[in-house]
């Protein structure tokens, strides 16, 4: 398959705005890496876990106070001790949810905790937050006691430390370059879509204006299939040695055009610890790659192409596994709903001890301390591009076909899509290299 297939006439090119017509090769790479993640020397003792939650509580309490103006009237111990003082008036509390229980009426009883104690709070079934509260969420609660001497507290307001609703950075002051997104390519798997990946590589080397406009390719985890990730995985491998999987990945990256710089972070299939945050891939693997920038998971990437860095929050997305069973509106087919919840909770994986393993770092590196200019996840083998409160959300597509495990679950992945975002005009485009109904159809752009 030659590059001629992807050349376009001047008439076709005229359909794109000037920001898409710029050539990425005319702009230098300029990336600021965020803080290093997953490399502390914590032992995982109980004190480490307690300190992690204490630090999370402090971080998100500050967000509630500074960004939302939510100030507690006191600690839980003080409020419970002085109930008569607070009767017939609303009380503000900040705490972390220990437990959520469903009531017969359809409401919820939550156990809220701070550093001084716990209290039980009732949330009515009509409250908009009723189906989004998870254990280990840090929230602000406004409510009141309903009877003198009674310990029954009813919430009228639940305030998450949500990101503010304003436009992300970008626009005319930023370079007219774009960023492309992929993940879950699974080099080394029998189900890897080699033809579709080759088709994408050839398109990226073509004269198509969008292809020439791409400056960075963010790869959000699971680029290799790994070894021993699940029982019987060896039966699904085309490359049995994990280092050979990465070597093959590196050779595929060498086929990308010079104007594209890959940025790569690990996922749950990669050769790092499974607990998040995950450290960067080991040096022996990094040395296989010529121009790829390696980061941990999650990665906070600053693109220096404007008056301020354009900040991308890239997270592989394993924390979604804990949200799907507990929130009806969050599904593997629509994981962008999970990303919205992460931005609402200001945390990438709030629940401890469920499907997703977390490491008790010295600071909670899964907290979303400030609003990103773009957020991207992988892991679910889905594909979505949406906006939420002024932030573009990208669920990057997979280049792995439907495995036997997915088939057993009845889940059909959205395969072979490349997501592209332009910093200057804030437009999103999707390029499809695997028509789900007609795999030989070539490609389309949206």
pLDDT by residue for the chain (446 residues), tens digit each?
Answer: 333 344 455 555 567 789 999 999 999 999 999 989 988 766 668 888 889 999 999 999 999 999 999 999 999 999 888 887 777 789 999 999 999 999 999 999 999 999 999 999 999 999 999 999 999 999 999 998 877 656 788 999 999 999 999 999 999 999 999 999 999 999 999 999 999 999 999 999 999 999 999 999 999 999 999 998 888 888 999 999 999 999 999 999 999 999 999 999 999 999 999 999 999 999 999 999 999 999 999 999 999 999 999 999 999 999 999 999 999 999 999 999 999 999 999 999 989 878 898 998 889 999 999 999 999 999 999 999 999 999 999 999 999 998 776 776 667 889 999 999 999 999 999 999 986 544 434 455 55
Residue 271 to residues 40, 298, 342, 353, 372: CA-CA distances in angstroms? 18, 15, 26, 22, 27
Tell which residue, 212, 284, 283, 294, has the closest CA to residue 253. Answer: 294
Residue 256, classed as helix, strand or coil, is coil
Tell which residue, 277, 25, 19, 351, has the closest CA to residue 170. Answer: 19
Q: How far apart (Å, rounded) are the C-alpha atoms in residues 109 and 135?
A: 12
Report the pLDDT value the prediction gives residue 387, as an integer from 0 to 100: 97
Q: How many residues does the chain have?
A: 446
Q: Which domains does the chain have, with CATH numbers?
A: 3-40+165-445 (3.60.21.50), 70-159 (2.40.50.140)
Residue 242 to residues 132, 189, 227, 272: CA-CA distances in angstroms? 39, 11, 6, 12
């Amino acid at each position: 398959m030659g590059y001629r297939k992807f050349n376009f006439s001047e008439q076709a090119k005229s359909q794109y705005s000037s920001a898409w017509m710029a050539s990425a090769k005319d702009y230098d790479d300029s990336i600021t890496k965020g803080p290093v993640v997953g490399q502390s020397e914590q032992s995982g003792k109980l004190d480490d876990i307690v300190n992690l939650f204490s630090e999370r509580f402090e971080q998100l309490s500050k967000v509630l106070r500074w960004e939302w103006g939510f100030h507690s009237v006191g600690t839980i111990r003080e409020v419970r001790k002085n109930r008569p003082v607070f009767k017939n008036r609303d009380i503000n509390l900040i705490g972390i949810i220990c437990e959520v229980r469903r009531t017969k009426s359809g409401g919820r009883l939550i156990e809220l905790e701070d550093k001084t104690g716990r209290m039980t709070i009732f949330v009515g079934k009509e409250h908009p937050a009723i189906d989004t509260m998870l254990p280990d969420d840090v929230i602000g609660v406004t409510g009141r006691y309903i009877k003198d001497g009674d310990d029954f507290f009813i919430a009228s307001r639940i305030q998450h430390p949500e990101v503010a609703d304003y436009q992300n950075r970008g626009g005319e002051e930023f370079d007219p370059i774009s960023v492309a997104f992929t993940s879950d390519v699974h080099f080394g798997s029998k189900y890897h879509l080699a033809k579709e990946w080759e088709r994408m590589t050839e398109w990226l080397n073509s004269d198509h204006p969008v292809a020439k406009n791409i400056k960075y390719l963010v790869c959000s985890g699971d680029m290799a299939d790994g070894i021993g990730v699940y029982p019987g995985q060896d039966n699904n491998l085309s490359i049995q040695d994990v280092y050979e999987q990465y070597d093959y990945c590196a050779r595929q990256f060498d086929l990308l055009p010079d104007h594209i710089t890959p940025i790569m972070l690990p996922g749950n299939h990669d050769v790092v610890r499974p607990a998040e945050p995950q450290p960067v891939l080991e040096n022996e693997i990094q040395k296989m790659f010529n121009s790829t920038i390696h980061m941990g998971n999650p990665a906070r990437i600053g693109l220096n192409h404007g008056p301020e860095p354009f900040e991308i929050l890239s997270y592989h997305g394993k924390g979604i596994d804990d949200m799907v069973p507990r929130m009806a509106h969050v599904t593997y087919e629509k994981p962008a709903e999970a990303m919205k919840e992460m931005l609402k909770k200001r945390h990438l994986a709030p629940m401890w001890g469920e499907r997703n393993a977390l490491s008790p770092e010295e600071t909670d590196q899964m907290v979303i301390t400030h609003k990103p200019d773009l957020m991207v996840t992988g892991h679910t083998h889905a594909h979505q591009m949406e906006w939420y409160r002024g932030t573009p959300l990208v669920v990057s597509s997979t280049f792995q076909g439907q495995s036997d495990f997915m088939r057993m679950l009845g889940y059909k992945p959205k395969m072979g899509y490349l997501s592209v975002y332009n910093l200057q005009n804030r437009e999103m485009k999707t390029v499809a290299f695997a028509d789900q109904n007609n795999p030989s159809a070539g490609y389309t752009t949206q």
